[in-house]
């Protein structure tokens, strides 16, 4: 139970002394052993997914940690036999996530800067509107948006993509995170730019935006991950099989694409759907952790 205590070192001094030291050393070893086992438990299902993707179907339901035999059959099947091809799905996911991310960066930084620095009547009221949107559940919006969009042709053909992109084009979280960051940048620099005769856009573009790189990176990563993983809006709007994103494709393969119990290729598809985010997480882990915490404290 020691591990659960808020072990500010000062609190534990009660059991100092040689005997206490030995007891503490042992407890420390046990605590670390537990921590490491729990951490491993976090990775096990993912590791199992990767292992399974190199197995044959009969082997996939056995507890073998090294596939017997190791085979690329499942990968071959997943890459060539699926309809639609997972390469198409990958491309769809990548396009949507990239466009949504760029759009959030552009619109979010402009608005975030204006809410942080520019004075205009109604600014506070508009910002309240921005924050209020965080409390409106998507499920309440989906029906009217679906009807509006079907009236203007965004529920058929390529319009389905545009629908998903437009809905996610700007989020209150992006604006909020960037505004908070702009508030922390000292005013001196932009005032100097103003005195030199720079307009508001030039000041924003040349002076403030480069200074906001860490916040832009955090927003970019959170948005990319959120859009890449998104399920609700894509499953409502993406109907043409060739238009699906990876998460919707996975659902489709299980239900209609004949992969319901064919575990190895299904797991290969799961790996493909997860790898880009995994790579982002390995390289930019800090931004995930800090971005979530910052978005959480917003209030």
Partner 1 sequence: MAVAPAVKSQRIGERSEALAGYAFVAVPMVFFLVLQIGVLFYAAYISLWDWNIRSGPEEFFGLRNFERMLSDSIFHTAVRNTLYYTLLWVPLTMALGLFLAVIVNQKIRGQTFFRAAFYFPAIASSAAITVLWIFVVSPGGLFNEIREVLGLNPLFEALGYRPNHNWIGDYRTALNSVIILNTWTTSGTFMLFYLASLQSISNEVYEAAAIDGAGPWQAFWRITFPLLKPGHFFVATVGVIGGLQLFDQARIAGGENGAPAYALMTVVLYLYNALVPQLSPGYAAAVGLVLFVIIMVATLIQRRLFGGAPSW
| Interacting positions 174-203 with partner 1 (CB under 8 A) | 175, 199-201
Gap between the Cα atoms of 54 and 242, Å rounded: 27
Least separation in angstroms between residue 199's CB and partner 1 is 8
Query: CB under 8 Å to 245, separation ≥6 — which residues?
Result: 89, 92, 93, 96, 228, 230, 234, 238
**Residue 89 in the binding site for partner 1 (CB under 8 A):** no
Between 10 and 66, name the residue whose CB sits nearer to partner 1: 10
**Residue 3 in the binding site for partner 1 (CB under 8 A):** yes
Least separation in angstroms between residue 17's CB and partner 1 is 16
Ranges within 36-65 binding partner 1 (CB under 8 A): 38-39, 42-46, 48-49, 52, 60-63
Gap between the Cα atoms of 164 and 138, Å rounded: 13
Tokens standing for residue 3 = 């591990």
Among 96, 105, 165, 170, binds partner 1 (CB under 8 A): 170
Following DSSP, what letter does each residue of 39-107 receive, concatenated? Answer: HHHHHHHHHHHHHHTTS-HHHHTS--SS-SS--SHHHHHHHHT-SS-HHHHHHHHHHHHHHHHHHHHHH
Least separation in angstroms between residue 161's CB and partner 1 is 17
Between 66 and 293, name the residue whose CB sits nearer to partner 1: 293
Ranges within 115-144 binding partner 1 (CB under 8 A): 115, 118-121, 123, 126, 129-130, 132-133, 136-144
**Residue 22 in the binding site for partner 1 (CB under 8 A):** no
185: Cα within 13 Å, side-chain hemisphere: 22
Ranges within 204-233 binding partner 1 (CB under 8 A): 204, 225, 228-232
Among 246, 257, 268, 287, binds partner 1 (CB under 8 A): 246
Following DSSP, what letter does each residue of 14-27 receive, concatenated? Answer: GG-SHHHHHHHHHH
Ranges within 257-296 binding partner 1 (CB under 8 A): 261, 263, 266-267, 269-270, 273-274, 277-278, 281, 285, 288-289, 292-293, 296
3-state secondary structure of 197: coil
**Residue 76 in the binding site for partner 1 (CB under 8 A):** no
Least separation in angstroms between residue 150's CB and partner 1 is 6
Count of helices and strands (H, E) across the chain: 16, 0
Among 30, 214, 255, 258, binds partner 1 (CB under 8 A): 255
Query: CB under 8 Å to 90, separation ≥6 — which residues?
Result: 246, 272
Rounded to the nearest 5 percent, the helix, strand and coil shares of the chain are 75, 0, 25
Do residues 160 and 238 make contact, with C-beta atoms less than 8 angstroms apart? yes
Residues touching partner 1: how many (CB under 8 A)?
Answer: 105
Between 22 and 298, name the residue whose CB sits nearer to partner 1: 298
**Residue 167 in the binding site for partner 1 (CB under 8 A):** yes
Q: At what angle do helices 172-184 and 86-117 cross, to 10 degrees?
A: 50
**Residue 254 in the binding site for partner 1 (CB under 8 A):** yes
The residue written with tokens 């389905």 in the block is 160
Between 22 and 28, name the residue whose CB sits nearer to partner 1: 28
């Amino acid at each position: 139970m020691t591990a659960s205590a808020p072990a500010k070192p000062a609190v534990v001094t009660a059991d100092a002394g040689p005997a206490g030291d030995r007891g503490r050393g042992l407890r420390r070893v046990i605590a670390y052993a537990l921590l490491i086992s729990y951490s491993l438990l976090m990775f096990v299902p993912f590791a199992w997914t990767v292992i399974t993707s190199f197995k044959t179907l009969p082997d996939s339901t056995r507890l073998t940690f090294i596939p017997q035999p190791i085979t690329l059959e499942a990968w071959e099947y997943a890459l060539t036999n699926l309809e639609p091809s997972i390469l198409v799905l990958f491309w769809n996911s990548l396009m949507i996530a990239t466009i949504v991310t760029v759009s959030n960066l552009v619109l979010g930084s402009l608005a975030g800067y204006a809410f942080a620095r520019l004075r205009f009547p109604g600014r506070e009221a508009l910002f309240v509107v921005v924050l209020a949107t965080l409390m409106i559940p998507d499920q309440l919006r989906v029906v009217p948006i679906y009807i509006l969009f079907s009236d203007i042709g965004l529920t058929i053909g390529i319009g389905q993509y545009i629908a998903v992109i437009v809905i996610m084009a700007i989020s209150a979280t992006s604006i909020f995170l960037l505004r908070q960051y702009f508030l922390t940048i000292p005013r001196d620099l932009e005032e100097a730019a103003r005195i030199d005769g720079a307009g508001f856009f030039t000041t924003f573009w040349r002076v403030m935006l480069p200074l906001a790189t860490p916040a832009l990176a955090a927003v970019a990563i959170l948005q990319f991950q959120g859009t890449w993983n998104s399920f609700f809006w894509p499953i409502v709007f993406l109907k043409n099989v060739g238009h699906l994103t990876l998460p919707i494709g996975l659902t489709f393969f299980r239900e209609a694409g004949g992969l319901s119990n064919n575990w190895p290729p299904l797991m290969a598809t799961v790996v493909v759907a997860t790898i880009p985010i995994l790579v982002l997480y390995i390289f930019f882990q800090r931004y995930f952790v800090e971005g979530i915490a910052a978005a959480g404290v917003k209030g």
